[in-house]
Structures are given as C-alpha cells and as structure tokens.
C-alpha cells in the first residue's frame, strides 16, 4: 500500500507528516532520505511520524533529510498540532506532544476550526557545556572561540531539546551557510553535532537569524533554532527576554518567560497531501 503523507511547513521549514497507525514504516531513516530529496523525492527538510503517546496525548519522531533522528523540532511541533487538531484526532486546544527532547505543551489559536497560530513550550533551556553536549571544561560556552580550518568564530551554545551553536555577525543574510555551517556542525567539540545559527541584532526586541540545520543543511526556518538564537542574544545582554526572530519567510516570537521555560509562537501551513508509492523505499 502507498504511504499517505501530508506536506506542511512552519515559515518555510517543511516536513512530510505520516500517521504510523495508518502506514507501516519499517525504516524511517531511509524513508526520510528518499522522500526528502529535493529532486528525486517529495522534497522536504525531513519526515515527522505522528504516533499515539504513552504519558502524553501524542508522540512525534523527527528524521532529518540525511536520515538522522532529531530530538525535537519547533516548527514541526506547530505543524503537528495543526494536523491532529484539524483532522479531529483531538478536540483540545491545549495538549502535550512527546518528543525525544521531552514533553512539549502546545496552545492553539483557532478560527472557525482552523489553527492560525501555535504557542509551544520548548522547556527549560540548558547552558552547561556537558548538557549541550560540548567538549571542554565545566561551565557555559559564551562567545567562545572555535577554530575552523581557516578562521576562528565565536559561539554561544544552548540546548533547547537539541543542541545549538550561535554566531553573532553584522549581517546574517550574507553568511555563506554552505561553507561555514557544516564546519561548525561537525566540529569535534560537538560529539552529537550541532545546529548552527547566524544572528544579527536589529534592536532589543528584534533579531535576524539564518540557520544551518544539523542533518538537513540550509533550511528556511527553525523553531528550536529561533529559540536558541534568541536565548544566546538574551544571555549575552543584546536583547530583552521577548523578541521577534526574523526569518526568510516571516517572523517567529520567542519568549524566555518568568517560569524559566522558553516559548515559541508562530504559524503552521498545510501544503498538500500525497501518496508515496509502495516499493519506492
């Protein structure tokens, strides 16, 4: 039987969503590599499996375009929430989605049965080097020098369910992501690799971010990456604790709230539903 999937995106960060109760998925890593290919497949940053939860209402697994499994995905979580609500898999506008990075509570803003915005709790960020994880002595990596082949960059690191290394620059839109991104992602200081964000500050409530995503390369947006970028700007005193992150196709709100958790809020968009032919794995 063909695998039924739905393509969705959060500000251009696109994934193929598959219900495991309706589709038998034997090798999700290889399926993601094939389906995600921009020329030979459906084209996406990865696939996301929609699964019933144990302690939570739902569970999600995220496989990047290269087949590696991610702990969490902020844009994917918003799309996931829209998918299950609009298809009647839940009638709740607040519920929990389990991820490898931990439980994520979402709150939906709806209009006539359609989800127009999702606010999700990405949990309490971690800054200790061992929690990123990142090699080196105990403590935090705040604008720490990182030697690459032909240059030195300064990274501020945070874990928001998955690892992030943030580089501040004069203009994030002019960075050669394909050149420098993989050097940082695969740097030996990051034993589990890392997502890489390049950020420039507009003012104390607005930043621009571009991302090289671990396992997917250049993506148009990232929910967890936006949180990582915002948190790095907050901890270094560049911005307030609530900012707008400006991405290629829009803005994402990030707040490091008084309860210690970080929240991201933004849209989710459905593109189309298709069928991946049986045997195409």
pLDDT tens sequence across 135-149: 999 999 999 999 999
Asked whether 279 and 30 are in contact (CB, 8 A), the reply is no
Q: Taking residues 187-196, what's their average pLDDT?
A: 98
In tens, the pLDDT along 25-43 reads 999 999 999 999 999 999 9
Question: What pLDDT is attached to residue 223?
Answer: 96
Whose tokens are 């707040």? That residue is 255
Which of 63, 62, 54 shows the shortest CA–CA distance to 80?
A: 62
CATH of domain 129-259: 3.10.310.10
The reply to whether 129-259 shares the fold of 3-123+267-276 is: yes
In this prediction the pTM is 0.93
Instruction: Please tell me the distance from the alpha carbon of residue 264 to that of residue 75, in angstroms, as a whole number.
Output: 9
Structure tokens at 200: 């420039």
Whether residue 183 has pLDDT greater than 60: yes
For 34, how many CA atoms within 13 A lie in the half-sphere containing its CB?
Answer: 12
Instruction: Please tell me the distance from the alpha carbon of residue 169 to that of residue 167, in angstroms, as a whole number.
Output: 6
Residues 6+ apart with CB under 8 A from 258: none
pLDDT confidence bin for 280, thresholds 50/70/90: low
Q: Taking residues 210-236, what's their average pLDDT?
A: 97
Q: Where exactly are the structural domains of the chain?
A: 3-123+267-276, 129-259
Asked whether 200 and 208 are in contact (CB, 8 A), the reply is yes
Give the 3-state secondary structure of residue 87: coil
Whose tokens are 């309860």? That residue is 259
Cβ neighbours, 10 Å, residue 178: 10
Whether residue 281 has pLDDT greater than 90: no
CATH topology of domain 3-123+267-276: Diaminopimelate Epimerase; Chain A, domain 1 (3.10.310)
Instruction: Please tell me the distance from the alpha carbon of residue 123 to that of residue 236, in angstroms, as a whole number.
Output: 20
Whether residue 124 has pLDDT greater than 60: yes
């Amino acid at each position: 039987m063909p695998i039924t999937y739905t393509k969705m995106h959060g500000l251009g960060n696109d994934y193929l969503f598959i219900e495991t109760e309706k589709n038998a998925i034997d090798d999700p890593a290889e399926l993601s590599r094939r389906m995600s290919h921009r020329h030979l497949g459906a084209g996406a940053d990865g696939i996301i499996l929609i699964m019933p939860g144990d302690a939570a209402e739902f569970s999600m697994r995220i496989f990047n375009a290269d087949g590696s499994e991610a702990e969490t995905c902020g844009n994917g979580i918003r799309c996931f929430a829209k998918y299950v609500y609009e298809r009647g898999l839940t009638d709740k506008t607040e519920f929990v989605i389990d991820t490898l990075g931990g439980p994520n509570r979402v709150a939906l803003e709806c209009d006539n049965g359609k989800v127009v915005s999702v606010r999700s709790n990405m949990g309490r960020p971690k800054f200790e080097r061992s929690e990123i994880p990142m090699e080196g002595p105990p403590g935090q990596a705040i604008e720490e020098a990182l030697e690459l082949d032909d240059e030195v960059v300064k990274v501020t690191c945070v874990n928001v369910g998955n690892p992030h290394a943030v580089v501040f620059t004069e203009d994030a839109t002019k960075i050669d992501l394909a050149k420098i991104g993989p050097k940082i992602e695969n740097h030996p200081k990051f034993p589990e690799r890392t997502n890489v964000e390049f950020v420039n500050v507009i003012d104390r409530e607005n930043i621009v971010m571009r991302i090289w995503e671990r396992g997917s390369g250049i993506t148009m947006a990232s929910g967890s990456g936006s949180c990582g970028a915002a948190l790095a700007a907050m901890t270094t005193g560049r911005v307030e604790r609530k900012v707008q992150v400006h991405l290629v196709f829009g803005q994402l709100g990030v707040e490091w709230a008084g309860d210690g958790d970080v929240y991201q809020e933004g849209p989710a968009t459905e593109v189309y539903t298709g069928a991946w032919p049986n045997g195409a794995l």
